[in-house]
Amino acid sequence: MLSAAKHLMRSFAALRMTVAILLLSFSALALSPEARLTDEAQEQRAMELFLEVRCLVCNGQVIENSDSEFSFQMRKNIRQKIVAGKSDMQIKAELVEEFGENILTEPNHVNKILLWTLPLGFALFLCGYFFYSLHHHNPKNR
């Protein structure tokens, strides 16, 4: 009876070890490095674009240092577009068209200009209104 228990314990330990090895091998496959471009200049362009493209599932993290499946697919997609001969501006335009303006870390120049001029315009309007109301205020109407 004792040897049957020892045999069962050894079998259970072997099963646990097998499961652990399988799990580790699957995680090693998941962490395998991405295929990099053979042309170093193209790979450098891709790396620079990775810093400008935001992961939409990672709370604003750039795809260059994100481990999400979305970021992996975006890096692969950008590399393919670079190999196809597209410029950085074309790639960014396609990404914005597909995912919206939030995909880029920097807004386009029109949005950036609006971002700075609208508050300034509002402040100037308030100052003008304030001085207009002071100048045209008639104390005799009180």
Q: Which of the four pLDDT bands, split at 50, 70 and 90, describes residue 131?
A: confident
How confident is the model over 20-34, as a mean pLDDT?
57
CATH placement of domain 36-106: 1.10.8.640
How confident is the model over 21-27, as a mean pLDDT?
59
pLDDT over 60 (residue 140): no
pLDDT over 70 (residue 12): no
Q: Which of the four pLDDT bands, split at 50, 70 and 90, describes residue 31?
A: very low
**Prediction pTM value:** 0.56
Q: Which pLDDT value is given to residue 136?
A: 79
- Measured in Å, how far apart are the chain's first and last C-alpha atoms? 108
* Residue among 109, 90, 98 nearest 73 (CA): 98
How confident is the model over 71-84, as a mean pLDDT?
93
The answer to whether the beta carbons of residues 95 and 103 sit under 8 Å apart is yes
DSSP state of 106: S
Dihedrals phi, psi of 54, to nearest 5 degrees: -95, 140
The three-class DSSP label of residue 2 is helix
